[in-house]
C-alpha cells in the first residue's frame, strides 16, 4: 500500500505540493485528478523516489522511502508521463533489459517477460523494433516494463494519454483487473477514467487536495450528479 503524510514540495518560492496526505490500500485503484500543473506528476515523482520531498513522509508497503529507499522502490512499478523507450531495441530486448535491471534471471526472467507480453497484448510485435511500433504499442511496452517484476504497487502517470478510444478502453480494463490485487495510483485529467477504472478519486488543485471520495460520493457533491461539474467547482481555470 501507499501512505503519504504531510507531503510538501517547494521549488524556490513556488509550493508545487502543499502538505497533502492520502493512502492507497491493497486492492484499490485511486485516481489522482487535477488540471495541468496541479501537482500530480510532482507528487508521483516523489512517491517513486525520482525527486525528494521538501518535507513529509512516504511509505510503500510499510517501507519508508526516505529511510529504506531500495526496499520501497522494489515494490513499485512506475509508468512516467511520456515514458522513455530505446527505439533501437526490439520489444523483447527492451523487456529483457528491464527484467535484468530488476534482478530477474534465468527461468524467472523468461516467465516474467512472457507474462507481461500476454498481459499487455504484445504478442504480435514482440520481436519488432520499438521505432516501428504505433504509439499504442509503444505505450503498452512502457506499461509492460512497469509490470515486469510483478510489483505490489503501480504508479501510472496519465497511462492513456495519446491513445485512441479502443486503446484507452483496453488500458482502463487492464487497470481494473490489476487493481483487484495491487495498490494503484494513476493520474489523469480525463474525468470519464475515474468512473471507468477507479474505486476512489482525489482531486488536487494548486498543490492541495480539494476533494477525496468514491466516484459516487463525488457526483453527489456536484449538485447535478456530474463529476465534471464538481471538478469545475473545486479547481481553478488557470494555474499560477
pLDDT in tens, 124-172: 999 999 999 988 889 889 999 999 999 999 999 888 877 788 888 888 8
Q: What local confidence, expressed as pLDDT, does residue 43 receive?
A: 95
Alpha helices, DSSP H, located in the chain:
40-47, 69-74, 91-101, 106-119, 135-147, 165-178, 192-197, 215-222, 227-234
Identify the weakest region by mean pLDDT among 7-21, 61-75, 158-172, 209-223: 158-172
Q: Is the pLDDT of residue 181 over 70?
A: yes
From residue 167, give the alpha-carbon distance in Å to each of 69, 83, 139, 188: 34, 17, 10, 16
Give the number of other Cβ atoms within 10 Å of residue 109's Cβ: 18
pLDDT in tens, 89-107: 999 999 999 999 999 999 9
When comparing pLDDT for 162 and 238, which is higher?
Answer: 162
From residue 5, give the alpha-carbon distance in Å to each of 51, 59, 64, 164: 16, 9, 11, 36
Beta strands 200-205 and 208-213: pairing type?
antiparallel
Q: Is the pLDDT of residue 67 over 90?
A: yes
Q: Is the pLDDT of residue 109 over 50?
A: yes
Q: How does residue 188 score in pLDDT terms, banded at 50, 70 and 90?
A: confident
Q: What local confidence, expressed as pLDDT, does residue 238 receive?
A: 56
- Are the beta carbons of 168 and 160 closer than 8 angstroms? yes
Taking residues 209-218, report their average pLDDT.
Answer: 94
Q: Which of 2-11, 29-38, 81-90, 151-160 has the highest mean pLDDT?
A: 2-11
Q: Is the pLDDT of residue 201 over 90?
A: yes
The length of the chain, given as a count of residues = 240
Paired residues of 205 in beta bridges: 208
pLDDT averaged over every residue in the chain = 92
106 burial level (CB within 10 Å; 0-12, 13-18, 19+)? exposed
Hunting for cell 487493481 — which residue is that?
179
Taking residues 203-218, report their average pLDDT.
Answer: 94
Cα separation of the two ends of the chain = 32
Q: Is the pLDDT of residue 30 over 60?
A: yes
Q: What local confidence, expressed as pLDDT, does residue 165 receive?
A: 86
Judged by DSSP in three states, 201 sits in strand
Taking residues 207-230, report their average pLDDT.
Answer: 92
Q: What local confidence, expressed as pLDDT, does residue 237 receive?
A: 61
- Are the beta carbons of 57 and 73 closer than 8 angstroms? no
- Are the beta carbons of 61 and 1 closer than 8 angstroms? yes
Q: What local confidence, expressed as pLDDT, does residue 240 receive?
A: 46
Q: pTM higher than 0.85, yes or no?
A: yes
Amino acid at each position: 500500500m501507499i501512505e503519504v503524510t504531510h507531503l510538501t514540495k517547494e521549488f524556490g518560492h513556488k509550493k508545487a505540493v502543499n502538505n497533502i496526505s492520502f493512502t492507497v490500500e491493497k486492492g484499490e485503484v485511486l485516481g489522482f485528478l487535477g488540471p495541468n500543473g496541479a501537482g500530480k506528476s510532482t507528487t508521483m515523482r516523489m512517491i517513486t523516489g525520482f525527486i525528494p520531498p521538501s518535507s513529509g513522509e512516504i511509505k510503500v508497503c510499510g517501507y519508508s522511502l526516505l529511510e529504506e529507499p531500495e526496499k520501497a522502490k522494489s515494490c513499485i512499478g512506475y509508468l512516467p508521463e511520456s515514458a522513455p523507450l530505446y527505439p533501437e531495441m526490439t520489444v523483447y530486448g527492451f523487456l529483457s533489459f528491464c527484467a535484468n535491471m530488476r534482478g530477474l534471471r534465468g527461468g524467472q526472467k523468461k516467465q516474467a517477460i512472457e507474462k507481461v507480453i500476454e498481459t499487455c497484448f504484445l504478442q504480435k510485435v514482440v520481436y519488432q523494433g520499438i521505432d516501428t511500433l504505433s504509439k499504442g504499442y509503444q505505450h503498452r511496452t512502457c506499461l509492460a516494463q512497469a509490470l515486469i517484476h510483478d510489483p505490489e504497487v503501480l504508479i501510472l502517470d496519465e497511462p492513456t494519454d495519446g491513445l485512441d478510444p479502443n486503446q484507452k478502453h483496453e488500458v482502463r480494463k487492464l487497470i481494473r483487473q490489476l487493481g483487484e490485487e495491487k495498490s494503484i495510483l494513476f493520474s489523469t485529467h480525463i474525468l470519464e477514467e475515474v468512473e471507468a477504472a477507479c474505486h476512489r478519486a482525489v482531486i488536487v488543485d494548486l498543490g492541495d487536495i480539494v476533494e477525496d471520495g468514491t466516484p459516487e460520493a463525488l457526483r453527489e457533491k456536484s449538485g447535478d450528479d456530474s463529476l465534471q461539474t464538481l471538478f469545475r467547482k473545486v479547481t481553478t481555470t488557470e494555474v499560477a
